[in-house]
């Protein structure tokens, strides 16, 4: 079968798959278990680089192990810090930024991303994008913090000037309340 409309996360990957190539620079603002980090590292190739942030040591250890298994460790810098501090580590323009909000799959569900830090991270990440660069944000309503992030993220991104950013919001209309949603933002 050809194209499959699968999930918010796969929509985000599809957008970045079309953009990233050998030599690109990307940021994974929520490294988690490392699946998106590996995805980005593969696309950026051996001459590109990925910076991946997470506040949980367990997440970074899982990401490091996966990167090692896949032979991608040399393409990635893992950063044990919150994504709201992205500008402490990066100042050069990047091609792509990826967020997968919520909690660490298989981890402690009481540790989630929070709107206060996500707002700063998303706003700062947009300033890092090159012209034509893309930021994806997958948000997971259905739990208290996820609902707060979804609502506020919608307000923030829908208020962006169309002369500066194009913003697409994808919702699976028949998935019911609490289904993941994907935002794709491209700098003009």
Average pLDDT over residues 91-101: 97
**Per-residue pLDDT reduced to its tens digit, 121-137:** 999 999 999 999 999 99
pLDDT the model gives residue 103? 83
Q: What share of the chain has pLDDT > 70, as a percent?
A: 99
- C-beta of residue 67 within 8 angstroms of C-beta of residue 74: no
- Please check the confidence at residue 142 and state whether its pLDDT lies above 90: no
- C-beta of residue 83 within 8 angstroms of C-beta of residue 29: yes
SS3 helix, strand, coil % of the chain, rounded to 5? 40, 25, 35
User: What domains, with CATH codes, occur in the chain?
Assistant: 8-187 (3.40.50.150)
- C-beta of residue 54 within 8 angstroms of C-beta of residue 109: no
3-state secondary structure 73-121: HHHEEEEECCHHHHHHHCCCCEEEEEEECCECCCCCCCCECCHHHHHHH
**Per-residue pLDDT reduced to its tens digit, 66-79:** 999 999 999 999 99
pLDDT the model gives residue 51? 98
**Per-residue pLDDT reduced to its tens digit, 157-176:** 999 999 999 999 999 989 88
Q: Which is more confident, 90 or 2? A: 90
For the entire predicted model, the pTM comes to 0.95
Average pLDDT over residues 93-114: 90
pLDDT the model gives residue 105? 82
C-alpha distance from residue 76 to each of 21, 51, 89, 136, 177 (Å): 15, 6, 13, 19, 36
Q: What tokens were used for 164?
A: 């500066």
- Please check the confidence at residue 1 and state whether its pLDDT lies above 70: no
Residue whose pair of structure tokens reads 């409309």 in the numeric block: 5
- Please check the confidence at residue 2 and state whether its pLDDT lies above 80: no
Element (H, E) at 185: strand 181-187
- C-beta of residue 157 within 8 angstroms of C-beta of residue 183: yes
The distance from CA 25 to its chain's CA centroid, rounded to whole angstroms, is 13
User: Taking Cα atoms as reference points, which of 119, 117, 127, 54 lies closest to residue 90?
Assistant: 127
């Amino acid at each position: 079968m050809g194209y499959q409309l699968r999930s918010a996360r796969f929509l985000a990957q599809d957008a970045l798959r079309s953009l990233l190539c050998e030599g690109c620079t990307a940021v994974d603002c929520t490294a988690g278990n490392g699946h998106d980090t590996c995805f980005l590292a593969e696309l950026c190739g051996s001459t590109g680089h990925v910076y991946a942030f997470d506040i949980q040591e367990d997440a970074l250890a899982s990401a490091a192990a996966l990167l090692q298994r896949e032979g991608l460790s040399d393409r990635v810098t893992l950063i044990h810090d919150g994504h709201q501090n992205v500008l402490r580590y990066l100042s050069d323009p990047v091609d792509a930024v990826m967020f997968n909000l919520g909690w660490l799959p298989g981890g402690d569900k009481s540790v989630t991303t929070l709107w206060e830090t996500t707002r700063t991270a998303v706003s700062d990440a947009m300033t890092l994008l090159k012209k034509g660069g893309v930021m994806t944000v997958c948000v997971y309503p259905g739990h208290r913090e996820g609902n707060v992030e979804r609502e506020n993220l919608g307000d923030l991104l829908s208020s962006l000037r169309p002369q500066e950013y194009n913003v697409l919001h994808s919702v699976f209309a028949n998935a019911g309340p609490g289904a993941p949603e994907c935002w794709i933002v491209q700098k003009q």
